[in-house]
Amino acid sequence: MIDDAMGSGATMNEIALRLKEKKLAADIIGLATTGSYNGFEVISEL
């Protein structure tokens, strides 16, 4: 997955979960060109 910006990572986590649930991907790598954890709660689990 490629995203232009990442804050908390929640959107990437949700998309990865849905891809795995539908068995469309076994391994998923996420890449964001810009991001900041300042002011965001970091979600490390779903």
Type of residue at 33: T
Would you state the pLDDT for residue 4?
75
Residue 46's pLDDT band (cuts 50, 70, 90)? low
Domain map (residue ranges) of the chain:
2-32
Between CA 3 and CA 38 the distance in angstroms is 18
Of 6, 2, 5, whose CA–CA distance to 42 is shortest? 6
Would you state the pLDDT for residue 21?
93
Would you state the pLDDT for residue 26?
86
The model's pLDDT over 4-40, given as tens digits with 9 standing for 90+, comes to 777 777 888 888 999 999 999 888 888 887 766 666 6
